[in-house]
Amino acid sequence: MANVVVIGAQWGDEGKGKVTDLLSKSADVVVRYQGGVNAGHTVVVKDQTFKLHLIPSGILYPETECIIGSGTVIDPKTLIEELDRLEALNISTQNLMISQTAHVTMPYHRLIDQASEERRGNHKIGTTGRGIGPTYADKSERIGIRILDLIDPEGLRKQLNWTINYKNVILEKLYDLPPLDPEAVIDEYEQYAQRLRPHVVDASLKIYDAVQEKRNILFEGAQGTLLDLDHGTYPYVTSSNPVAGGACVGAGVGPTMIDRVIGVAKAYTTRVGEGPFPTEMTEGVGDILCDRGAEFGTTTGRKRRCGWFDAVIGRYAVRINGIDCLAITKLDVLDELDEIKVCVAYEIDGTRCDNFPSSSRLFARCKPIYETLPGWQQSTMNCRTLEDLPKQALDYLKYLAELMAAPIAVVSIGASRDQTIIVEDPIHGPKRGLLDANGTPV
Ligand code: IMP
C-alpha cells in the first residue's frame, strides 16, 4: 500500500496525464486536489485520445474511484460536457465523486477573468480565461458558492440572487459589461445541480476511509510547481497550490497519510502565458521542440513557449515538493537534435546563482549557464528498457538525475501507454528522504 502524490515539476503540461494514467492502474482511488478547467490532460489509449479537464484520468479504469477534491474549483457546465463525452464512449462515470466543499466557477468568474486580463494590458498574466482566479478570490473573500450550496435549491436561489447583484455592479461599473440576469443563471445552475447531485460526497471522509482500508490512493496535481500561488513565479502563477503540500489541504488529509511524491518533468521546458522563462528559445530549436512536441495547450490551444531543460527549477521542484523520484517525459522530442543544452545555473548581473530566485524581477534578469551534451540523432520511440536507449540519451538522463539529485523512475518516449520505460517501481521504490548536494542520503 502506498499513497502517492504526482506533481508537475515545471510550469505545467509536463505529461502528468500520461503518468497518472499509468499509475492509476495500481491505484484504488485517484484524487484531484486543486485547480479547475484551466488544466487539460491528454491520455491516449489505443487509437482513442481523451482530453480531460477536471475528471481524473483514473476514470478510464472501471474499478478505480475518482474524487474531485475540496481544493478544486468546478465549472459544472464543462464537467457535465466531460461526463457526456466519456459516457458517449461507453466509459462509466459512476465512480466519479465530487467534494461537497469544492467551489463552483460561475459565469461572472469567467467574465471577470477575461475582462480583468484585458484591463491589465502589459501587466496581464496570460490566464486561460476560465474564471479560475476570480473563483479562488471569492473563496478567500468568503462569498464563494460551494457544491453543497449548488445542490441546495433554496439556498442557491438566495445566495445567487445576492451574489449576482453584487457582481453585476462590478461587471457594469468596472468593466462596462452588461449585467447578468439572476433568474437565468439560477435556472441554468439548478439544471447542473440535478445532474451532479448523485456524485456529491464528503470527499475527505471518503479518502480517510480509503486510507483506513489500506487502499492505494493517487493524489493528482494539476498545473506545476512554478505555477504555484505561493512558491511559483508570482505573479505569473495560477491561484491554487499545485505543489505536493497542496494535496493535504486540497484533499483534506494529514501529511502523515502521504507516502511518496513523484515529480513529472519534460526532457525540455515549456511555459504558457506570460512571465520570465530563462531558457526560452523563440525560434530555431524552440520551433523544432514546439512542432515535434505538438506544444499547443489542451485547454486554450495556445502555442506553448519552448526552451532547454532548466535544472535550477528542477532542483527547486525537488526541494519544494520533497520529490522521491522523477518521471521524465517526451524524451523522443529531442531525438533529431545534434546537441542538447541543459541550464545548470543562472547568472544574474555577472554573479552565478544556483538557486531559484523568488523575485520575479530578479528571475527576469537570470541568464542561463548551459552545459552542452551531444544529441543521439536516432529514434527512441521504440525503446522499452534503458538498455535500448542510445548511449547519449542515457547519459542525458543520468545528467538530469545528477543535477536534480533525484532518481528517474519512469521515462516516456511517446504518447501511447506502451511508449514508456519503467526504470524502477515509481510507487514502491525506496523512500529517498533528504539528499545532500551529491545526491547521497543524509
Ligand atoms: P489561470 O490558471 O487560468 O488563472 O492562469 C494562470 C497562469 O497559469 C497562466 O500563465 C496560464 O497559462 C497558466 N496555466 C493554468 N493552467 C495551466 C495548465 O494546465 N498548464 C499550463 N499552464 C497553465
CA 116 to chain centre: 23
- Quick one: cell of 69? 477534491
Q: pLDDT band at 431, cuts 50/70/90?
A: low
Supply the mean pLDDT for the chain. 94
The yes-or-no answer on residue 436 being catalytic is no
Instruction: Looking at the structure, tell me whether residues 159 and 308 fall in a common domain.
Output: no
By residue range, what is the domain housing residue 163?
103-198
Residue 13 in marked binding region: yes
| Predicted pLDDT at 440 | 59
Q: Is 238 in the pocket of ligand 1 (CB under 6 A)?
A: yes
Indicate which residue of 109, 139, 167, 206 is catalytic.
Answer: 139
Residue 142 in marked binding region: yes
Q: pLDDT band at 441, cuts 50/70/90?
A: low
- The 10s digit of each residue's pLDDT in 122-163 is 999 999 999 999 999 999 999 999 999 999 988 999 999 999
Instruction: Looking at the structure, tell me whether residues 286 and 396 fall in a common domain.
Output: yes
| Predicted pLDDT at 69 | 98
Average pLDDT over residues 365-392: 97
Q: Which of 165, 198, 231 is the last residue of a domain?
A: 198
Q: pLDDT band at 171, cuts 50/70/90?
A: very high
Burial class (CB in 10 A: 0-12, 13-18, 19+), 362: middle
Instruction: Looking at the structure, tell me whether residues 171 and 209 fall in a common domain.
Output: no
Q: Which of 159, 180, 198 is the last residue of a domain?
A: 198
Computed from CA positions of residues 143, 144, 148, 151, in that sequence, does the dihedral angle turn out positive or negative?
positive
331 phi/psi in degrees, rounded to 5: -60, -35
First-to-last CA distance in the chain? 25
> What count of other Cβ atoms lies within 10 Å of the Cβ of residue 276?
16
pTM of the predicted protein model: 0.95
Average pLDDT over residues 338-366: 96
Q: Which of 163, 198, 233 is the last residue of a domain?
A: 198
- List the Cα angle 431/229/397 in 5-degree steps: 40
| Predicted pLDDT at 41 | 81
Instruction: Looking at the structure, tell me whether residues 294 and 374 fall in a common domain.
Output: yes
Number of helices (H) and strands (E) in the chain: give both, helices first. Answer: 13, 20
User: Contact 17/221 with Cβ under 8 angstroms?
Assistant: no
| Predicted pLDDT at 438 | 57
Instruction: Looking at the structure, tell me whether residues 171 and 235 fall in a common domain.
Output: no
Q: What is the CATH number of the domain that holds 166?
A: 1.10.300.10
- The 10s digit of each residue's pLDDT in 274-312 is 999 999 999 999 999 999 999 998 888 899 999 999 999
- The 10s digit of each residue's pLDDT in 193-214 is 999 999 999 999 999 999 999 9
| Predicted pLDDT at 306 | 98
- Quick one: cell of 292? 515535434
Query: Residue 127 falls within a domain, yes or no?
Result: yes
Instruction: Looking at the structure, tell me whether residues 418 and 340 fall in a common domain.
Output: yes
Query: Residue 26 falls within a domain, yes or no?
Result: yes
- Assign 349 to helix, strand or coil: coil
Q: Whose CA is nearest to atom 9 of ligand 1?
A: 127
pLDDT of 430 strictly over 70: no
CA dist., res. 58 & res. 41, Å (int): 11
Index of the ligand 1 atom closest to the CA of residue 300: 12
| Predicted pLDDT at 1 | 62
| Number of domains the chain contains | 2
- The 10s digit of each residue's pLDDT in 50-64 is 888 999 988 989 999
Query: Residue 137 falls within a domain, yes or no?
Result: yes
pLDDT-above-90 percentage for the chain: 86
Q: Which of 275, 438, 282 is nearest to 366 (CA)?
A: 275
- The 10s digit of each residue's pLDDT in 212-263 is 999 999 999 999 999 999 999 999 999 999 999 999 999 999 999 999 999 9
The single residue listed with the C-alpha cell 482500508 is 213
The yes-or-no answer on residue 228 being catalytic is no
Instruction: Looking at the structure, tell me whether residues 254 and 343 fall in a common domain.
Output: yes
Instruction: Looking at the structure, tell me whether residues 271 and 369 fall in a common domain.
Output: yes
Instruction: Looking at the structure, tell me whether residues 392 and 417 fall in a common domain.
Output: yes
The yes-or-no answer on residue 138 being catalytic is no
Instruction: Looking at the structure, tell me whether residues 278 and 358 fall in a common domain.
Output: yes
Index of the ligand 1 atom closest to the CA of residue 128: 3
pLDDT of 88 strictly over 80: yes
Instruction: Looking at the structure, tell me whether residues 210 and 340 fall in a common domain.
Output: yes
Q: Which of 60, 54, 65, 51 is nearest to 97 (CA)?
A: 65
Query: Residue 239 falls within a domain, yes or no?
Result: yes
Residue 40 in marked binding region: yes
CA 282 to chain centre: 24
Q: Is 52 in the pocket of ligand 1 (CB under 6 A)?
A: no
Average pLDDT over residues 35-46: 85
| Predicted pLDDT at 50 | 80
